[in-house]
Chains A and B, each alone.
Chain A
């Protein structure tokens, strides 16, 4: 059964810092991995999707990497801003659990101004 773990569970940083969020998964037979952002009381917004054949994806200040063989992904946020404060969720698609997203519990990020 696919299991996804995110570390740290919570993170508080001053504005302007670069930061890294970590995600690990137990079954490397995945189709892709996605990073989502969730704001309080709102749904999930997809930030980046990395196909299993890719190593990384970039969007603005965000960069996500994937090491499928070791079952790890990182989300790098450059020059953090207070507006980045949210919960960041990692989800893997595929593996021996079938074709569905399996989510981690998320990292709660707070960027202080």
Chain B
């Protein structure tokens, strides 16, 4: 079974530029999550989708971050404009159902904002 796919794996941008990350979850998984992991910290949930609807985006900085999950499969996370403090690893995860199911994580996209 293929795992969660993410691209790109690495990205370096200047502050105030925009960047987008892509995630393809495990086939059949209805729930998709985006996490931000700053160096030395645990992952923090940014947004959770159930199919193509948003379940929780309470920790998403909506003035600069946006995410969508068209057709309930792939998802993109965008940052515009980027700030230095956005440097982090962005992890995508998926699960068969919400709440209690095991989440499977992708390898992450490592973002460096200069």
Contacts and interface: CB of A to CB of B under 8 A. Distances in A.
Interface centre among A32, A44, A89, A104, by most chain B C-beta atoms within 10 angstroms, is A44
Interface residues of A, number: 26
B107 interface: yes
Contacts, number: 55
Given A43-B91, A91-B42, A101-B45, 15 more contacts: A4-B42, A31-B99, A34-B103, A41-B107, A41-B110, A43-B105, A44-B43, A44-B91, A46-B102, A99-B99, A100-B45, A100-B56, A101-B43, A105-B42, A106-B42
Q: What is the interface of chain A mostly: helix, strand, loop, or mixed?
A: strand
B103 A101 contact: yes
A27 to B, nearest CB: 16
B61 interface: no
A25 to B, nearest CB: 12
B56 A98 contact: yes
